Structure 1
Amino acid sequence: MFAALSAHPAVSSLGITPQQRMSAAARAYRAKLLETGSRQIDIGDIYRSFSSLSAETQAQLAEAEVETEANICFAFFPCVELIRQAHARGIKIIIVSDMYLREGELRRLLTRNLPADAMQAISKIYCSVDYGTAKSDALFPIVIKECDVPASQILHIGDNEAADALAPHKLGMRALHFLQFDREVADFLRLQHAATSLAVLGQAAQETPALPRYSPFRPVFSVAELQPYAPETMIGYMSFGPVLYAYARFLMDEVEQLQRQGKRVKVFFLLRDGYLLSRACEAYARKPVGNLVRLRKLIAVAASFRTRADVDHYISGIRPEHYNFHVVAEQLLLPRELTEVLLQIAHQSADPQATFHQLLHDKDILGLIFKNSSAYRDRLKRYMLKEMELEQGDTIILADTGYTGVTQDYLTRTFSEELNVDILGRYVLASDEPDRPSNSKSLITTSWCDHSLFEQSCTFREGAVKDYDLEGEPVLEEIRLSDEQYQKVTDIQAECLRFIHDAKTFFAKSGVTHDYSILQRAAHAALFRHVYMPVEAELDYFRNFQHDKDMGTPDRRKTIYDLKTGLKHARGVPSPHRLGTYEARGLGLDAAFSGLMQRAFQLDLAPEDMNVRFSPLKIWLGREQESKAFSLRVPHTHDGYFSVTLPYASGVTVKMFLGEHYEWLQIDKIELLSRDGRVRRDASGSLDLDGINREGEIYRCQSQASVATIRPVDLQQASMPHYYHIVFRPLVLRAQAA
């Protein structure tokens, strides 16, 4: 509430932060205790702590807080029903509150948010500040006396165990402690609350300051029949459900706005991961919304090649880390036999990639690309006209999970003018890349987000479309992912839809309508928490999830994350920056946060900046005629390991004087890597030991003179630089070492 208060014009104009508001209250409590011996303060006392402000400004701030409180609080409908049933049975209803709001202010909040019949059923309101005493002190005896009934005939219900349950029970009253959430749900929401402050780091245009955000869905979780130990509930109901609820509201608002402009809007959800978006929008709107269509990036790009500029546009959009010769050739619709010939020529040059691009510019190669793309384009157009029933002047919305809008971009370039339609994209998640389509919008815009697991959880169980036949019917790939994964996805989707139904029902009963911005922020925080702060149940549930890539052989798929491999990798790198988010989370929140900060702010940090902890290592490099010794400081990485890279040269021997500093150590790996980090060879088998006993990864140095020698390794066709990568962990240091 204080974070929302900080956005109120009267408060934001003075730059008052939630921390200052809480500090003012603490000061007011101390002052009141000294003055009267009581800790009962009102809201005016709180703002009088801002002593540099005028009395008029203090009063304006107090009023701003009451107004904000009224805007945020809501009628919790199970309690409303309880009031109605009690009133119908002739049971008297009173409110007893420990709060810094006086009766008139609290009555304002109740009148604003309670249904009229429930408000009229309340006969009396007791506020602790009006009576100068709290529930845990003397307020309940006052209540009992004024009610003029035996204490045992009063039932008190409240969410504070000490004040609302134990205190009245001691006086003979009946008392129920209202538990809002199960313990595990409460722990989950605590993490979610922490994520709301950090979520600004994942936004394209970062907000300041980073404040906790109001969560509109907490009462839905409180009312729901949750299985807190069921991971599909935690993932589907409590994480993805709020994201999809907000997306459905976003899409419905967009459609309504376009229709008000006189547009003829048609919504198409792109299979496969648009499937759950379609179901979510239908659950939210309580009616069908749009249609499912089989379109994807591979199809849109393949149909776009008319000129050399089209080919270059595609190639220039490939990030270096994603570049793959075979994938590029397949996307350009080149036959596999021709691709192998081109690659054989390219790899004989000093710069294979540049040579490959030059070969693609050959007139005959371009002609083949254009011919195949034209045929592909005709088949795609036939599908679109038949399945999508397009008419000139239509406004088409492509609804998808995101991320860069490539499908929309290429369909627009290829068909927008020819078919005389506007093609818009409305995504769950979109990047802030400068080349993203200008007429695209998203629920969340972010600089970087690994949403692979969310995307896979939205999919439909069928093979991806790879082409269309001459009649425009989709040709699908075989299903590549396991039945077990699809069953888990089905369970998640059921919980997502259950959440949307429950949320719609709850807000309708409570008469609550949220601003879109509140839903958007809650959705962003939920997805952010899922990506950067997954709980143990999520890590285990998604452990074997795979992602089948857009192109390549039928068995091309990848495990989305691998905690065991991530741990091994972390031992050899100075920072978790390059680990996936789930792998980093598996190492601990500190590792996850470190990676997040480096990505969010694009920090210019070198490996040597990451640590001031080193382990010594003396090495010797040389051939028969020449050699040189070095004393190195090897940087610490993770889990007690240290990592060092040593230069490789053909015929050069590397000696490590391990006994000089270590009695016992563990060597995790000795690998020969190429410049781009690919493992060329496991070099641990090329290790000669002198005065060292070995058991698996454990090495015992018998004396200070113990040496491990990496014999010269010969590589065939080693045209680029290579290096040894050694990861070790000291276990017992040599006592006499310097």
Structure 2
Amino acid sequence: MNDTILADALPTALDGQPGITILSLDCFDTLLWRDTHAPSDVFRALGSPVLQQRIWAEQRARTAAAVRARRNEVGIAEIYAQLLPNATPAERAAMVAAELAAEAAHCFAFLPTVELMRAARARGLGIIVISDTYLDAAQLGALISDSAGADVRALIDRIFCSSEYGLSKGEGLIGDVIKELGVRADTVLHIGDNRAADLVAGRAAGVRALHLKQFTATTEQRLRLEAATSAMIHAGAASNRNSQPHRAALSIAEPGIDDAAERLGFTAIGPVLHGFARWLAREADALRTASAGQVHTLFLMRDGYLPRLVFDAIEPNATTHAIEISRFTATAASFATEADVLRYLDAETTTPARVILAQLLFEPQEIAVMLRALPERNSHAALVRTIRAGPRMTRVLARSRACAERLIGYLRTTIAPAPGDTLMLVDLGYNGSVQNQIDPLLRRALSVTVAGRYLLLREQDISGFDKAGFIGADNYDANTLDAMCGNVAVLEQVCTAAQGSVVDYTADGVPVRAVNAIKGGQSAVRDAIQRGAVHFAQVADRPIVRSAPPADPDARRSAAVATLARLMFLPMPEELAVLDNFQHDVNLGVGDTVPLFDSAVAQRGLRRRGLFYMRGEERMYLPAELNGEGLAVKLTLLAHKRFGLALKYADFIDRTITLPVLIADGRTVETGTVTATPTHDGYYIAPIPIDDCRFSIGLQFGRLYEWLQVESAVFMPVDRFLSDQQRAGLEEVAGVPTLEGMEQTAAHLYRCEDAGAFMMIPPPPRRDARAMMLAVVFRPIAARADAPVRPAQSAEQVR
């Protein structure tokens, strides 16, 4: 017999159950659900200090009841007697009322359960609720009415609470209820979400019982990780920041989604963009109230593609436009004066010259000529001089004015704004760069007001423009915004349209697009993700039955932040399988792409540099590379980014290895030691200076180990090794070792025959005047029994 029922099957649970006269339901997480992760999260509404005190008080009350009355169940009055030992009865009653009000604000009836109750009523069945709770029947009935509505409460004939009977369902409450009702046990069907308390205890009492399986194990883990992420992101926030209003929709629809990409869209992208869309609708209403003209809702392509689909799904009567203004075209149209050009050049000192010249609208043959003339050193300064020389600056300004005219013509053709209208530019964010470039042009050319509304906004200067972010500085500090902006590319790639980025406009207002650099396979996966996100928006609110609107309309913001941050920093393996091989196109008009993540590169980087390998890497979703490296590493990265911790490599060093070495210059051989420091997963790195490539280095591993792994031995310039922008493989030369008394038994695995065994690595040919070093990464496997024991050095000694 199947003893489990899924949420979407609840309305038909009575089918195939002949002889039932009473439908018995658990209350919490069966009839009433909370929009938070855990029941105790509701206590946050009582105030930050009370939260933990309320939990402790319940623990003390249960201990006292067990000792004094040999019962495990307590009432809420007993809990508040422990919480407020010196308060008056009136003060305690006020606090109890406050908790019940908080519960009512965060509870809702689960629609499939309500539909089951209505089906039971239509069959003439009685309906009861049996709940393990510290509330009494009157309090629980009032809570159901206050949160779900009087009509839902009216469906229930009687309520039975463990606090009034002094025993839980697992201790026999269901059997006592059956006796009190005077009915045959096998005519009762009991359904609840707790397998032990509802299914096992129900069958022990003789009733027919079903276990409501809310979520799969994977979903439970994902929600648990979202709650953990939320705790870190919202650390110190007094308000309820562990909201999960998407739980009900996940329970109903996720089990029916077989495609992994669509499931990713439904479970992770959908809740984020649904919250964003709800916020956008409120922002548009506010702009209409403040504007004398029409408000045009313009989703900037390409990243605004999926946000628009989600918005249209929840606001089907609203008029929106897909507007193709890229960072490239907005910048190209913004050069009204030479000062504008120079300001752009000042901000692009690390951008490749070919990208800069393309942005300034030079033709390919012009770019080729200028690139050939640039010196290797101080090339940016030379580039600026080249652009300012002769007629080139005049050419840039003229082409920019022409581009601006074409862009404005495109807007007139597409939306025909009237003077005094408001253009609400919608984008993912995160600096509002398009608005920064185009805002003055739009106001000047069209006599309109411009308002930018972004999913994620972290302005890098005070622009003075009308900007707001669903996730922005009004609600989150700079460290949190920085942490999320650093990985926003994963969201960009699933939100974008399957087309090339706009690079120009024709004279009659048609966008001219670059060739789409993304492969068709990625586009197909992205389409499935987008279907899932839109599906979520369509069903997100359906399972929720409330007597009034949510008390906190911004709860979806904190839930969206937790969901997005969890995807960014603690992605699930099946999510990464969907995103594997995704490329990110940099959208600068040059068709460049970079991988979102590369786990193989990450593993090498971790072994060679620990988490600091991420500095200087071009890939756009680096936390995803930590899958398989353990939760501790992932949480370390999240904490480091979320709190802006000023940690250095030396702070991660809690032990070192003193490695004996031989230093040979072809005439003499000297002995010495180097200090190897830990990186990751038991590996160490030994950096050994070799000056101008005169020295061969012998690593006397046999003195310390019988077995070890050698991950790598590479030469590189000292300044590259010490750079914050060190990048794997950049300016590296692989060492070619010879073995003396060492045997390689497998890839990277070596056995040292005796204490005299060593690995000799000759220097590479000298390339330039920079000082060089050898970096050897190894992992001890088996220490030599008679190896010298040396005390570990502190981080200060290492420095």
SS of equivalent to 1:669? strand
For residues 408-487 of structure 1, the aligned pairs below 5 Å read 408-435=435-462, 438-445=465-472, 446-449=481-484, 450-487=487-524
SS of equivalent to 2:213? coil
Aligned in 2, Cα 1:701/1:39: closer, same or farther, shift over 3 Å?
Answer: closer
Task: Judge which range, 623-632 or 579-588, deviates more.
Answer: 623-632
Letter in 1 for 2:533: C
Aligned in 2, Cα 1:461/1:575: closer, same or farther, shift over 3 Å?
Answer: closer
d(CA) in 2 for partners of 1:688, 1:179: 61
1:594 to 2:594 alignment? no
1:239 to 2:268 alignment? yes
SS of equivalent to 1:347? coil
User: Which of 783, 786, 792 is residue 733 of structure 1 equivalent to?
Assistant: 783
User: Which of 683, 694, 710 is residue 761 of structure 2 equivalent to?
Assistant: 710
Deviation at 1:624, TM superposition (A): 5.9
SS of equivalent to 2:765? coil
Aligned in 2, Cα 1:187/1:348: closer, same or farther, shift over 3 Å?
Answer: closer
Equivalent residues of 1:667, 1:699 under 8 A apart: yes
1:31 to 2:82 alignment? no
User: Which of 333, 337, 353 is residue 325 of structure 1 equivalent to?
Assistant: 353
Deviation at 1:340, TM superposition (A): 5.1
Equivalent residues of 1:346, 1:356 under 8 A apart: yes
User: Unpaired runs of 5+ in structure 1?
Assistant: 201-205
d(CA) in 2 for partners of 1:258, 1:542: 37
d(CA) in 2 for partners of 1:249, 1:680: 46
d(CA) in 2 for partners of 1:680, 1:222: 48
Partner of 1:670: 713
Aligned in 2, Cα 1:661/1:461: closer, same or farther, shift over 3 Å?
Answer: same
Letter in 1 for 2:103: E
User: Unpaired runs of 5+ in structure 2?
Assistant: 1-35, 473-480, 616-621, 789-799
Partner of 2:327: 297
d(CA) in 1 for partners of 2:550, 2:237: 26
Which string of whole-angstrom CA distances, capped at 9 and with x for unpartnered residues, describes residues 201-246 of structure 1? xxxxx64369761211212222225246642243111111111111
Aligned in 2, Cα 1:687/1:341: closer, same or farther, shift over 3 Å?
Answer: farther
Partner of 1:564: 600
Letter in 2 for 1:563: S
Partner of 1:203: none
For residues 299-378 of structure 1, the aligned pairs below 5 Å read 299-318=329-348, 323-339=351-367, 342-343=370-371, 346-349=374-377, 351-362=378-389, 364-378=391-405
d(CA) in 2 for partners of 1:34, 1:128: 18
User: Which of 574, 581, 599 is residue 623 of structure 2 equivalent to?
Assistant: 581
Identity %: 29
TM, length-normalised to structure 2: 0.84
SS of equivalent to 1:24? helix
Partner of 2:674: 632
Aligned in 2, Cα 1:681/1:210: closer, same or farther, shift over 3 Å?
Answer: farther
Letter in 2 for 1:652: R
Equivalent residues of 1:641, 1:727 under 8 A apart: yes
Deviation at 1:533, TM superposition (A): 1.0
Partner of 2:25: none
SS of equivalent to 1:571? helix
Which string of whole-angstrom CA distances, capped at 9 and with x for unpartnered residues, describes residues 132-185 of structure 1? 333233433442233222222222222222322222322322222222223332
Which string of whole-angstrom CA distances, capped at 9 and with x for unpartnered residues, describes residues 565-597 of structure 1? 111111111325727110123422211111122
Equivalent residues of 1:4, 1:68 under 8 A apart: no
Deviation at 1:407, TM superposition (A): 0.5
Deviation at 1:69, TM superposition (A): 0.7
d(CA) in 2 for partners of 1:577, 1:211: 36
d(CA) in 2 for partners of 1:627, 1:355: 48
d(CA) in 1 for partners of 2:185, 2:389: 94
SS of equivalent to 1:631? strand
Equivalent residues of 2:707, 2:782 under 8 A apart: yes
User: Which of 550, 554, 576 is residue 539 of structure 1 equivalent to?
Assistant: 576
Equivalent residues of 1:653, 1:709 under 8 A apart: no
For residues 103-182 of structure 1, the aligned pairs below 5 Å read 103-182=137-216
Partner of 2:535: 498
Aligned in 2, Cα 1:153/1:698: closer, same or farther, shift over 3 Å?
Answer: closer
Aligned in 2, Cα 1:650/1:140: closer, same or farther, shift over 3 Å?
Answer: closer
1:18 to 2:51 alignment? yes
SS of equivalent to 2:483? coil
d(CA) in 1 for partners of 2:84, 2:254: 48
How many aligned positions are there?
724
Aligned in 2, Cα 1:432/1:610: closer, same or farther, shift over 3 Å?
Answer: farther
SS of equivalent to 2:157? strand
Aligned in 2, Cα 1:143/1:667: closer, same or farther, shift over 3 Å?
Answer: closer
Deviation at 1:125, TM superposition (A): 1.8
Deviation at 1:505, TM superposition (A): 2.8
SS of equivalent to 2:341? helix
Letter in 2 for 1:600: R
Task: Judge which range, 220-229 or 241-250, deviates more.
Answer: 220-229
Which string of whole-angstrom CA distances, capped at 9 and with x for unpartnered residues, describes residues 264-289 of structure 1? 21011112221111110111113354
Aligned in 2, Cα 1:314/1:528: closer, same or farther, shift over 3 Å?
Answer: same
d(CA) in 2 for partners of 1:336, 1:498: 44
SS of equivalent to 1:224? helix
For residues 44-59 of structure 1, the aligned pairs below 5 Å read 44-51=77-84, 53-55=86-88, 56-59=90-93
d(CA) in 1 for partners of 2:443, 2:304: 22
Equivalent residues of 1:647, 1:722 under 8 A apart: yes
1:724 to 2:796 alignment? no
